[in-house]
Structure 1
């Protein structure tokens, strides 16, 4: 849904797509000024500012995503540089648990004083970062389950995938539904990792999640988080074999707003491509051409007393009298 909404909105303001649509829709010719009682010229005038606003919102979204995601990357890099990281010894409890979880030793780094028990970071070469005292807080099976959970994030490259999802949501920041859909997908990332681990380590993982669920959140905003207080009940119930209620972050109101935005983007894009008979005389095709005295296109959208194919409209008469 997230990719579909973003793609449709981006395509709606892309001129090349509009030209293809224009070629496939015969009623958008320059000679056609009406669709039944609907005046296409007035609709063009009314939706042209909407299309311009869509373009400016897109430009603002590009600036926003560069600044907002750039700030996240800078903060992430600064935090990672300041963390006292050390490789895990294969003979340590952490090393044995990492090997049992299917990780290579070089993929695991231990950090003293880490405010979060474990997380996965990195795009090209993702790695698992764990707190050095985690082996003292968990049993061997629980530690293996936690590292197996992070190993799933590492194999699926979840840090990169989530960063891309958040970037898409930031690109269209004025649509709250995109951030909410991204939040739903973040929940499913955690559930997917739990499901893979649950095949052999369901109860140890549930116990570890319960033990670690009340800690502080990590300052590394670009990573995949292990602690999600709002998601803990669902994860624990699911790992225990119980049916868990899935609560979406999206709402009916946000979905309606996204639908309206899609409708406006596409309709304005198509109507702006409707060629006026004389682009150099744009004002001459204003409300007066259908005997409406008002200058507001909203009062001119419908030509009353005229039916499709009739002779009562000046546009039709002008078209027929043309050589």
Structure 2
């Protein structure tokens, strides 16, 4: 059973490394429901990592048993292999260990570096910002460029520049604040972290960069949607679009690394989506997309455990 399981996992890993991310990246429907699309991207990343490491591990442990749990338990207890152990078994076991260590290590390192950078920026900003009259939870930074961003974390910080406050009217400013609050409320930085690590760990894989860019665009669109739900006024979509255009003029400076900004990610696509909104994704299509995401996670898990059942 194990050779067939390893082959099936390898095929799944190959599909999730290139064609599936390419198809999702080119699809038009994610802009109709960014949250569902984000769930699909997370499933692709998790299932892809599980599949490639699982394929290597299953092949490497094949001489010790007829299922992965059986073989793994035999190795842990020091039992001898049932079948001859060839060089390719040791190679794949080594590759599985190296790849798992690299992916988990890069993820941990990316999280630590980003957290340290955000903490440093937060400490510096807290020395120069003051309470903003625009919102009780916002801080005002004296800066001529129109800039708005939030720094997520245990002590989140929402910052508006004086240039932003001067250039926007009250409704537009409320739209910007609502957008940044959406990032913090839904912890969008956690959606991005696995793909930052994926791109850093596998820079030669084009799908990694494509996935990171797509997820960054989708979290901004999701924050737009969440902001619109809390806005009032005759035309909240146009109000938010105008605010994004103004913020784009100051996007080049003032936004620290690791922050989430209203001017981040596919500005043109976001503005077009606001002024000419696509039709919402039908309930059946949403259910189908979520089902596919669930199956992506279920299939490699079943392939790893099914021979033991």
Residue by residue over 1:121-178, the C-alpha shift from the partner in whole angstroms, topping out at 9 and shown as x without a partner, is 2223433121123211111111111111112112112234433543455455564423
CA contact (8 A) 2:107 2:193 kept: no
Contact 2:199 2:212 in 1 (8 A): yes
Are positions 1:72 and 2:114 aligned together? yes
1:6 touches 1:168 (CA, 8 Å); kept in 2?
Answer: no
Change (3 A) 1:76 1:151: closer
SS at match of 1:113: coil
Structure 1 residue 237: Cα displacement: 0.8
User: Alpha carbons of 1:240 and 1:193: their partners in 2 closer, same or farther (altered >3 Å)?
Assistant: same
Asked whether the equivalents of residues 122 and 160 of structure 1 are also in contact (C-alpha less than 8 Å), the reply is: no
- Of the three residues 143, 150, 155, the one matched with 2:173 is 143
The match for 1:214 among 249, 252, 273 is 249
Q: 1:20 & 1:108 partners in 2: Cα distance?
A: 59
Pick from 218, 234, 248 the counterpart of residue 188 of structure 1. 218
Judged with a 3 Å threshold, the aligned counterparts in structure 2 of structure 1 residues 23 and 117 are, in CA distance, closer, same or farther, namely closer
Provide closer, same or farther for how the CA distance between residues 140 and 86 of structure 1 changes in structure 2, counting only shifts above 3 A: same
Aligned residue number for residue 290 of structure 1: none
The farther-off stretch of 182-191 and 214-223 is 214-223
Q: Please show how residues 139-178 of structure 1 align to structure 2 within 5 Å.
A: 139-167=169-197, 169-170=199-200, 175-178=205-208
Deviation larger for 173-182 or 8-17: 8-17
Distance in 2, matches of 1:23 and 1:68, equals 31
Give the drift of 1:81.
Answer: 2.1
Instruction: Note if 1:82 corresponds to 2:132.
Output: no
Q: Which protein is bigger by CA-based radius of gyration? A: 1
Note if 1:130 corresponds to 2:160.
yes
Deviation digits for residues 228-278 of structure 1 (CA, Å, limit 9, x no counterpart): 3x611111111102559xxxxxxxxxxxxxxxxxx9xxx9x99xxxxxxxx
TM-score computed with the length of structure 1 as normaliser? 0.56
Could you state the TM-score of these two structures normalised by the residue count of structure 2?
A: 0.58
Equivalent positions of 1:111-122 (< 5 A) are 111-113=141-143, 117-122=147-152
Give, in whole Å, the separation in 2 of the partners of 1:61 and 1:117: 34
Which of 239, 247, 250 aligns to 2:274? It is 239
